[in-house]
A and B are shown apart, each in its own frame.
Chain A
Amino acid sequence: MFKFLAKGLLRDRTRSFFPILIIASGVMLTVLVYSWMSGFSVMLIYESARFKTGHVKIVTNAYNELIDQKPYDLGLMNVDDKIETLSSEYPDVHWQPRIYFGGLLDLPDEKGETLSQGEVIGFGVDLFTDSFEHDLLNLEEALTAGSLPTKNGEILISQEIADKLDINIHDVVTIIGSTMYGSMAMDNFTVSGMILFGVQAMDRGAIIVDISDVRSFLDMENSASEILGFLPTYNETKTFEISTAFNETYFDEDDEFSEIMIPLRTQGQMEYLIATLEGYMTSFIFVFIFIMSLVLWNSGLMKGIRLYGEVGVRLAIGESKGHIYRSLIYESILIGIAATIIGTSIGLVFSYLLQYHGINIGSMMKDSQMIMGATMRAQVTPVSYYIGFIPGVIASVIGAMISGVGIYRRNTAQLFKELET
């Protein structure tokens, strides 16, 4: 029977084209909107994890108390051993030490006198061991000029700083800071490239330096401000499990340099941000699917009129009402599934497009303290693959079922009259 119905659908364009067009576009929009919305919270977590929080973060007790000020002089020591232990304890978590520091960037003229000066925020990240930080910080994409550092002594500076201080690629700049012990630290670095993250908090004054350079610069051998831990994919429950286990072993409230692990969700304002965002997203998606279902339900209803004549003929030649009704429903299921697959595929294509090429929503977050990308991206999740079936199949079939009831109201005696005219 399905084969027969499918043939009918394929051969009679009017009976398949419009319904499929409408359902497919509806489904496509649902998938797109859903992915777009998921993009919000995934992005919030992603942006926060890569720049700020990791999926979990290890710091010292004393550092944690002043965490907003990122006091690297209270940072972690013996980091290599620590990471080795952690890697064997949690083999699927990737551990990455970071040093954040504030400093002064000074551009000299030919005589070595200061030409221009500006405050910078230094990110000491591991650039050379593997490409983990490259990928995490998306350095290739963030690069606006020049190239990534290939050897010690090379740094990346934010495009905004470069513009402000008039710095060019290959310029040698001096960074002035203070060591972990408060001594003056001063060193020269070659600017190998400029970067633009699209994250205001970073673009205002970030410089990226390999962590080994920062360690010798700040007298922090084998030390770090923080160790960030990254799961293969973010999993909230797991971050809490790992943290609890870790803190039971290593954390001692009375020891100011004992280590504490904090999961992403409980860092700073993340709890509030994620909860509010999720609340709004869920209600928005719910409303959207409801409206979409109405639209597609309506399109199911249209089937009734579209097939009015045909049903008349079929009744006239003696097909039972129940049979016709069932075949109509099957047909709408076929159409619904076909349209949903088409719509979902197109929706996914667009969603993936939006995932890889975000939309830049501007750069106007000067006052913002939060690290949030100026580029909005969609995020395709497993749900994106099936969410379209709710409006696409269920709603449109319900529409067809309601309109199909009309068949039972048709009077056989009048059929021929109707057909005559």
Chain B
Amino acid sequence: MIFKLAYKNIIGAGLRTWLNIFILSLSYFAIIALQGFFVGWQDDASREMKNWYIAGGQYWQESYDPYDPYTLEDSHGPIPEELQKLISKGEAISILISPATIYPEGRMRNIVLKGIDPKQDLIELPTKYLTDPNGEINCIIGSGFADNMNIKEGDFIVLRWRDKNGVYDARDIKVAHIFFTTVISVENNQIWIALDALQEMLNLPGEATIIPVKDELYKMEFSGWQHKDLAFLLLDLTNLIKTKTIGSSIMYVLLLFLAVLAIFDTQILSIFHRRKEMGTLMALGMTRSKIIQMFTLEGVLHAVLAILMGAVYGIPLLNHFQKVGMQLGANAKEWGLSGLDDALYPVYGWKLVLGTVILVLVTITIVSFLPTRKIAKLKPTDALRGKMTK
């Protein structure tokens, strides 16, 4: 009975109610849409990073430090037997890393040379281009680095290196393919060539610097190698997205605040305006708590109807976003945000949707209830005469 009454009451208020409901529905929509983008970003970026480089975790030769070019020359070791088995099963790949020099426009530039098995299919790096039918040493490089160096596909670049004994060698290697990636860790200042070629060049057969493995749960210990799990390898990304999420939550906190303010104002007004109605209801035998329930319910109904209204335009819109993604343009990674593709595809989990609905409902229930406490003190006689009991 209360439900029916409350429903009729708010629908009867017409445009005002619908505006309130619309604003509330926008809150739902904005929260889910924004959060969806961040979840999508996190998912996208970690997936990209896993797909392109880190797989299910990596083993690092113990002296390897990606931020220290000085130790690079000595960061290699024989591959542990257990890992070698995984590699032959295709569940791990070995990557050998060495410093080298290239000469773009005749100027020396130090770079990082990475060797990887051309036949691997554990990570997305287009390594198939590394085999050359004519016996050239092929290399692949990222498009950002290629632009920076003015290198085009099919160009030859002069590569000079020293093997483990310090013997110089240099070759013209062919840029077989320029790949686009959002993962800066596989493109920044580096050149990829075939693993066996690099092992031969450095005179380091059977050695590697890092070994990405497929299985996230694989955590065996090997001496001379350190296991780095996903949490470690994705730490920078996770932290970045966390700060971004907090930054953007300001937006929908503001929006929700506005919606709450509107509901609160509506409640106060309607309680003030409908004293006589309350008096009548009391006179007819309705208890105060029932009346409080009814008024609170009216407020909450806004939020419930907002779910429906939000669903009407929200679901198709969110679906649309999911399909087309948020276009960032081809140079999205110029923002320095690793893992951002040219479009960002949001992800909406049921946890997110349910969480949002509960958050809004609880908030609205509270603000709908607060003004109704006045009713508790209301005397039916005063109410009937249109007075507020002080």
Contact = CB atoms under 8 A, between A and B. Distances in A.
- A/B: CB atoms within 8 Å of each other: yes
A204 B95 CA distance: 27
A83 interface: no
Contact of B107 (A71, A306, A421): A71
Nearest to A14: B272
Nearest to A361: B243
A25 interface: yes
B233 interface: no
A69 B261 contact: no
A421 B240 contact: no
Interface in B1-58: 13, 15-16, 19-20, 22-23, 26
Interface stretch (A5-13, A287-295, A328-336, A337-345): A287-295
Contacts of A68: 148
B244 to A, nearest CB: 7
Interface residues of A, number: 46
Contacts of A25: 257-258, 261
A421 B19 contact: no
A364 B239 contact: yes
A368 B340 CA distance: 12
A367 B22 CA distance: 42
Contacts of A21: 261
Contact of B262 (A33, A66, A298, A362): A298
B276 interface: yes
A403 B13 CA distance: 12
A66 B104 CA distance: 10
Interface stretch (A122-130, A189-197, A240-248, A269-277): A269-277
B258 A29 contact: yes
A301 B336 contact: no
Nearest to A19: B265
B204 to A, nearest CB: 25
B111 interface: no
A184 interface: no
B244 A361 contact: yes
Contacts of B23: 291, 294-295, 298
Contacts of B335: 273, 370, 372
Nearest to A36: B250
Contacts of B170: none
B262 A272 contact: no
A119 B105 CA distance: 24
B185 interface: yes
A297 interface: yes
A120 B373 CA distance: 66
B334 A370 contact: yes
A287 B335 CA distance: 24
B15 A301 contact: yes
Interface in B287-328: 328
Nearest to B335: A370
A294 B22 contact: yes
B236 interface: yes
B254 interface: yes
A298 B259 CA distance: 11
B184 A291 contact: no
Give the interface size class of chain B: 35 or more
Interface string B194-209: 0000000000000000
A308 interface: yes
A276 B329 contact: yes
Q: Is the interface of A mostly helix, strand, loop or mixed?
A: helix
B265 A299 contact: yes
A370 B16 CA distance: 48
A323 interface: no
Contact of A69 (B16, B109, B242, B259): B109
B334 A295 contact: no
B389 interface: no
A69 B240 contact: no
Interface string B260-273: 01100110111011
A369 interface: yes
Contacts of B349: none
A44 to B, nearest CB: 10
Nearest to A28: B254
Contact of B261 (A22, A297, A361): A22
Contact of A18 (B240, B246, B265): B265
Nearest to A301: B16
Interface in B229-255: 236-237, 239-240, 242-244, 246-247, 251, 254-255
Interface in B163-219: 184-185, 188
A119 B242 CA distance: 31
A246 B20 CA distance: 58
A119 B69 contact: yes
A301 B19 CA distance: 10
Contact of A364 (B185, B243, B269): B243
B331 A269 contact: yes
B336 A370 contact: yes
Given A294-B23, A298-B19, A276 B328 contact: yes
B184 A359 contact: no
A291 B244 contact: no
Given A299-B265, A301-B15, A370-B336, A365 B331 contact: no
Contacts of B266: 302
A419 to B, nearest CB: 10
Contacts of B334: 269, 272-273, 370
Contacts of B262: 22, 295, 298-299
A29 B254 contact: yes
B258 A362 contact: no
B338 interface: yes
Ranked nearest first, the 7 interchain pairs of A and B with the lowest CB-CB distance are A368-B336, A362-B243, A364-B240, A370-B336, A298-B19, A364-B239, A367-B184
Given A26-B258, A366-B236, 9 more contacts: A29-B257, A68-B148, A69-B109, A295-B259, A299-B262, A302-B266, A364-B237, A365-B240, A421-B386
21 contacts: A18-B265, A18-B268, A18-B269, A25-B257, A269-B331, A269-B334, A292-B258, A295-B258, A295-B259, A298-B19, A299-B265, A305-B270, A361-B243, A361-B247, A365-B240, A365-B336, A366-B236, A367-B236, A367-B338, A368-B337, A369-B188
